[in-house]
Amino acid sequence: MKKILFCTLFLVALSLGTTWAKDQSVAYIDLQYILKNLPQYETANDQLAMISKRWQKEIEAVEQEARILTQNYQTEQIFLTDDMRRRREEEIVKKEQEAMELKRKYFGQDGEYFKKREALIKPIQDEIYTAIQGLAEEKRIDVVKDRSADPALIYMSSKLDISDQVLQKMGAK
């Protein structure tokens, strides 16, 4: 008796679950496509690239100074006193540490690059999210997935892709 009751409850739950899933409307976006077609995203990426290059040159200059100090030390080492060697070695270590600190400061986990990227890209992401949310409410879409971030997606009907509609909602051409 318990087995029959359990099987009956299982079948009822299964049929309710599939009915609920059928009633959901799903749409997809291609976030990479949307970003590629937003001029403000390209502008933000260009700004990030310029800043990154400037910081990278600054780091490379300090690293070059450390290499020059090391080369000079190696060529003059036999002529230096113990005290002079120790000071030169400390100077080299200090310069290498300065380069490492600049790398951390600019490109570390909480570095300036991360903060600048957040300041430039987050407003664009928020604008995309708002457009998606508005479009989903207008069209009564329950779920919107990013197809560029879904490796399990093998096929999707083009009529489910609302990427162009999101761009239109944002005013992009």
| Distant-in-sequence, close-in-space partners of 150: CB < 8 Å, separation ≥ 6 | none
pLDDT of residue 90: 97
Whether the CB-CB separation of 106 and 113 falls below 8 Å is answered with yes
Q: Is 7 within a domain?
A: no
Asked if the structure places residue 68 within a domain, the reply is yes
d(CA 73, CA 76): 5
Name which of 128, 122, 124, 126 is nearest 165 in CA terms. Answer: 128
pLDDT value at residue 155: 81
Give the model's pLDDT for residue 11.
46
| DSSP per-residue letters across 5-67 | HHHHHHHHHHHHHHHHHHH--EEEE-HHHHHHT-HHHHHHHHHHHHHHHHHHHHHHHHHHHHH
**11: in domain:** no
Question: Does residue 117 lie within any of the structural domains?
Answer: yes
Q: Which residues, given as ranges, of the chain have pLDDT below 50? A: 2, 5-12, 14, 16-21
Distance CA 28, CA 139 (A): 13
pLDDT, position 9: 47
Is the separation of the CB atoms in 88 and 70 below 8 Å?
Answer: no
pLDDT in tens, 43-71: 999 999 999 999 999 999 999 999 999 99
CA atoms within 13 A on the CB side of 150: 13
Within a domain: residue 105? Answer: yes
pTM of the model: 0.69
Tokens representing residue 159 in the block = 């009529």
Q: Which domain holds residue 148?
A: 24-170
| In a domain? residue 97 | yes
* Interval 4-16: pLDDT, tens: 544 444 444 545 4
Number of domains in the chain: 1
Domain annotation covers residue 90: yes
In the DSSP assignment, the letter for residue 108 is S
